[in-house]
Amino acid sequence: MSLKDEMLAVAQGARQAARELARASTESKNRALLSMAKGLRKSEKSILTENERDVKGAKEKGLPEALVDRLLLNSSRIENMASGLEGVAALPDPVGETIKMWRRPNGLEIGKRRVPIGVIALIYEARPNVTADSSGLSLKSGNAIILRGGSEAIHSNLAIARVLSEEASRARLPQEAIQIVKTTDREAVRELLKLNEFIDLIIPRGGESLIKTVVEESTIPVIKHYKGICHTYVDEFADLDMAVKVSFNAKVQRPGVCNAMETLLVHQAIARDFLPTMIKKFQEAGVEVIGCPEVRKIAGSILIVPVKEATEKDWKTEYLDLVLSVKVVSSLKEAIEHIHKYGSNHSEAIITENYRAAKRFLDEVDAAAVYVNASTRFTDGGEFGLGAEIGISTEKIHARGPMGLEELCIYKYIIYGEGQIRQ
């Protein structure tokens, strides 16, 4: 069978499975999710064995340490995948929910009801946990999913997807509801992107080049975010101890993910009190700090490791590593303007004790998630109480921010009449 025919067969199977899933009861979907969670725990040893192959290959290729960390599985991460599926099972089922209903003067009763999108193709890189999270969310929301992971995680993804698909089938849901593309040939992605007759939505998760390629070649609607250039702004009215704690977490806790801070903005009124402690803490953690002239002046005066000069390119860069751009700004207005110029509409934070500053930041910053006195690392479906996420959207369409169950549904209008005709 040619690759084109193989992808067509996968998509056709997913379409049929989606029709069956749309009719599935909440009880049957939850039963499948719980079975999938148990299956992951039982298969831990074999999954870790396959993951070792991927990690070894990544290291041999010299992939960045942050990327290897995203790829790595251990007992704790497998348990998180399993408990995530159980968390999704515990959430309310959005399918069939009537969002609102109203009566027209002519007696027609019109409602909006949540329904599954249908067939979703997820194209992603590195993180094997995405395989479990996305499959669980898709199944609970009544959608069939086609998974196409990156070559660096192929063995891990195949092992996880096999368990999930088999357990869903044992729970009497269609096995084709969860399918994974077994080849790493990039041509498979191109073939999937043409199958708009069977696939309803494409969600790419990965680097900017991957997402741009998908957007350019797809004949199917795409939900995406290109970059995660996230900022934390330390206001002149900030609690500096809080600012140190939050900023450090936003950069260092897991630097290789899209909600990690890439630029730190600091008000000039508190820069000399805040930056020496902050930069020292960052450098002790192995962070390379790149700064504007004022930051370099302050850093030089305290005789720590020299801070490199930031260029225009740095403000636009998603490092996904232990590298941080730092800039001193003259006002809240300048901070907001910097975010609007260089941000990616992902996640932005302000540290302040001033109500008006916080409110202005919340009102004026255009991003999928805007924080006051908290780390941008919380932009995550699990942390938002959505169970998990299939991706993060920075689009201005039906879904924005972490995409959970409701975001994997669309709606249709339902109309009840008594023989009304239009005059």
Domain match, 144 and 273 both: no
The answer to whether position 383 is within a domain reads: no
Q: Where are the alpha helices (DSSP H) in 119-207?
A: 129-140, 154-170, 187-192
User: What is the rounded CA–CA span in Å between residue 265 and residue 365?
Assistant: 14
Average pLDDT over residues 318-335: 96
Range of the domain at 21: 3-223+403-416
Average pLDDT over residues 108-135: 95
User: What is the rounded CA–CA span in Å between residue 331 and residue 337?
Assistant: 10
Domain match, 191 and 308 both: no
Domain match, 242 and 180 both: no
Domain match, 295 and 198 both: no
pLDDT value, residue 286: 93
> Would you call 180 helix, strand, or coil by DSSP?
strand
The answer to whether position 352 is within a domain reads: yes
Contact residues for 390 (Cβ-Cβ < 8 A; gap 6+): 120, 122, 133, 134, 137, 138, 203, 381, 403, 404, 407, 408
pLDDT digits (tens, 9 = 90+) for 223-281: 987 789 999 999 999 999 999 999 999 999 999 889 999 999 999 999 999 999 999 99
Domain count, the chain: 2
Contact 145, 179 (CB under 8 A): yes
Domain match, 247 and 179 both: no
* DSSP string over 327-365: EEESSHHHHHHHHHHH--SSEEEEE-S-HHHHHHHHHH-
The answer to whether position 394 is within a domain reads: no
* Mean per-residue pLDDT over the chain, rounded: 94
Tokens of 115: 């329904």
Which candidate, 199, 163, 192, places its Cα nearest to that of 178?
163
User: What is the rounded CA–CA span in Å between residue 9 and residue 4?
Assistant: 9
Domain match, 40 and 176 both: yes
Question: Sorting pLDDT into bands at 50, 70 and 90, what band is 127?
Answer: confident
**What CATH number does residue 244 fall under?**
3.40.309.10
**What CATH number does residue 97 fall under?**
3.40.605.10
Domain match, 212 and 282 both: no
Residue 137 has pLDDT above 60, yes or no: yes
Domain match, 207 and 240 both: no
Question: Sorting pLDDT into bands at 50, 70 and 90, what band is 301?
Answer: low
> Dihedral (C-alpha) 186, 188, 191, 197: value to the nearest 10 degrees?
-140
> Would you call 175 helix, strand, or coil by DSSP?
helix
pLDDT value, residue 414: 96
Domain match, 169 and 84 both: yes
Domain match, 172 and 136 both: yes
Which 3-state string (H, E, C) describes 52-112?
Answer: HHHHHHHHHCCCCHHHHHHHCCCHHHHHHHHHHHHHHHHCCCCCCCEEEEEECCCCCEEEE
25 to 87, 111, 142, 194, 255: CA distances (angstroms): 18, 21, 9, 32, 40
pLDDT value, residue 88: 95
The answer to whether position 289 is within a domain reads: yes
Residue 293 has pLDDT above 60, yes or no: yes
With the C-alpha atoms ordered 47, 52, 53, 55, is the resulting torsion angle positive or negative?
A: positive
Report percent pLDDT > 70 for the chain.
99
For tokens 């399993």, name the residue.
Answer: 82
What percent of the chain is helix, strand and coil (3-state, nearest 5)? 45, 20, 35
Residue 44 has pLDDT above 80, yes or no: yes
pLDDT value, residue 208: 81
Contact 380, 387 (CB under 8 A): no
Q: What is the pTM of this model?
A: 0.86
The answer to whether position 408 is within a domain reads: yes
pLDDT value, residue 306: 83
Domain match, 36 and 162 both: yes
Contact 120, 141 (CB under 8 A): no
pLDDT value, residue 108: 97
Domain match, 216 and 279 both: no
Residue 304 has pLDDT above 80, yes or no: no
pLDDT digits (tens, 9 = 90+) for 170-214: 999 999 999 999 999 999 999 999 999 999 999 998 878 888 999
Which candidate, 213, 211, 147, 210, places its Cα nearest to that of 182?
147
The answer to whether position 391 is within a domain reads: no
User: What is the rounded CA–CA span in Å between residue 370 and residue 338?
Assistant: 15
The answer to whether position 172 is within a domain reads: yes
